[in-house]
């Protein structure tokens, strides 16, 4: 298939600055279809900006961005997005189930109401994220972790080819957080996943590739991540950051053996 030949994401020489502040500098990134990539970087390193660039929500001053073989605008509706913080007003009058149903916007034509297949997809996504029982609850009444799951469910309801997640487990507690990791791992066999996080400890061994971002991006295929690279990215000793699990990122080869 020719679709297979084009990568899910390809960035070439992307430069983005806001006023005098350089946010992304000469970023090259190639993400193959089916990849499960984690982009690590400290706060303010441009992670969210990177995702928003891939989504076409912001345009870089120079460089090329290709998503699913076209421009970000052409890929709209096939790329799911889970923002770090809700971009909306939590007091907005809407039930969680209707938020998830919004994931079907791209599939439903103008002037048409959501049909049975949309409701089925939304229900499916709610069940996958184990929040089906919250469908009738207003979004404002959800806890942080519940809201995070509803937002992931909304992205899943899109049935996207590529899913971008911004700090997906930041507001989940350890136990629930692991559940989300298992769901993501399961998903990664069907679609391309890219997540960004500032927390090295949060990157589980499910992730297959790792990149480090601090304005500039360094790819580390197969999770090869050395202390030197992390130090260069974060600008301080890794032990301090990894906080007791310094080798969590390095371990996938031996431990689960499941990656290709």
Partner 1 sequence: MSEALATPFFQRVLIAALLASIACGVIGSYVVAKRISSLCGGLAHAAFGGVGLGYLLGFSPMLGAAGAGLLASAIIGTAYRRLGSSLDTVISLVWSVGMALGVLFVALAPGYTPDLSSYLFGSLLLVPWEYVALVGMLDLGVVGTAWLLHKELQAVAFDEEFAEVSGLPVEPLFLLLLGLSALSIVTLIRVVGIILAIALLTIPAVIARQWRNTLGGIMGVAIVVCAASLVAGLLLSWQLSVSGGISLPPGPLAILGLAIAYASSSVARRLRD
The residues that touch partner 1, with contacts defined as CB under 8 A, are 55, 57, 76-77, 79, 81, 83, 86-89, 92-95, 98-99, 102-103, 105-106, 108, 110-111, 113-114, 138, 154, 158
Residue placing its CB nearer to partner 1 in the complex, 193 or 242: 193
Residue placing its CB nearer to partner 1 in the complex, 93 or 244: 93
Buried b (16+ CB within 10 A) or exposed e, 44-69: ebbbbbbbbbbbbebebeebebbbbe
Least gap, CB of 118 to partner 1 (angstroms): 10
Residue placing its CB nearer to partner 1 in the complex, 114 or 250: 114
Least gap, CB of 140 to partner 1 (angstroms): 9
Q: Are β-strands 62-67 and 36-40 bridged in parallel, bridged antiparallel, or unpaired?
A: unpaired
Q: For residue 149, what are the CA distances in angstroms to 52, 179, 186, 222, 225?
A: 20, 10, 16, 28, 29
Residue placing its CB nearer to partner 1 in the complex, 105 or 232: 105
DSSP 172-223: S-HHHHHHHHHHHHHHTTTSEEEEEES-GGG--TT--EEEEEESEEEEEGGG
Residue placing its CB nearer to partner 1 in the complex, 92 or 232: 92
How many Å apart are CA 92 and CA 90, to the nearest integer? Answer: 5
At residue 239, the 3 state secondary structure works out as: helix
C-alpha 7, offset from chain centre? 17
How many Å apart are CA 226 and CA 136, to the nearest integer? Answer: 47
Give the phi and the psi of residue 132 in degrees, each rounded to 5.
Answer: -60, -30
CB atoms within 10 A of CB 104: 21
Residue placing its CB nearer to partner 1 in the complex, 102 or 229: 102
Residue placing its CB nearer to partner 1 in the complex, 5 or 111: 111
Least gap, CB of 141 to partner 1 (angstroms): 9
Dihedral angle of Cα 90, 83, 96, 142, to the nearest 10 degrees: -60
Least gap, CB of 210 to partner 1 (angstroms): 25
Least gap, CB of 75 to partner 1 (angstroms): 9
How many Å apart are CA 221 and CA 198, to the nearest integer? Answer: 18
């Amino acid at each position: 298939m020719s679709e297979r030949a084009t990568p899910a994401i390809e960035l070439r020489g992307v430069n983005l600055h806001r006023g005098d502040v350089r946010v992304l500098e000469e970023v090259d990134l190639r993400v193959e279809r089916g990849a499960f990539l984690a982009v690590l970087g400290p706060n303010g390193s441009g992670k969210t900006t990177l995702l928003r660039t891939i989504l076409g929500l912001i345009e870089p001053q120079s460089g090329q961005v290709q998503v699913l073989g076209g421009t970000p605008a052409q890929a709209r509706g096939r790329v799911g997005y889970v923002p770090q913080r809700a971009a909306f007003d939590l007091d907005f009058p809407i039930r969680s189930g209707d938020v998830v149903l919004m994931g079907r916007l791209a599939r439903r034509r103008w002037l048409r109401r959501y049909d049975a297949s949309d409701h089925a997809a939304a229900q499916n996504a709610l069940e996958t994220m184990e929040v089906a029982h919250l469908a009738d609850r207003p979004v404002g009444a959800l806890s942080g972790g519940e809201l995070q799951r509803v937002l992931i469910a909304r992205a899943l309801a899109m049935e996207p080819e590529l899913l971008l997640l911004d700090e997906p487990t930041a507001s989940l507690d350890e136990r629930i957080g692991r559940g989300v990791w298992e769901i993501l791992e399961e998903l990664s066999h069907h679609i391309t996943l890219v997540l960004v996080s500032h927390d090295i400890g949060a990157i589980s061994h499910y992730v297959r590739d790792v990149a480090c971002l601090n304005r500039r991006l360094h790819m580390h295929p197969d999770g090869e991540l050395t202390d030197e690279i992390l130090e260069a990215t974060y600008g301080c000793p890794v032990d301090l950051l990894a906080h007791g699990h310094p080798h969590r990122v390095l371990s996938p080869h031996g431990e689960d053996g499941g990656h290709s």
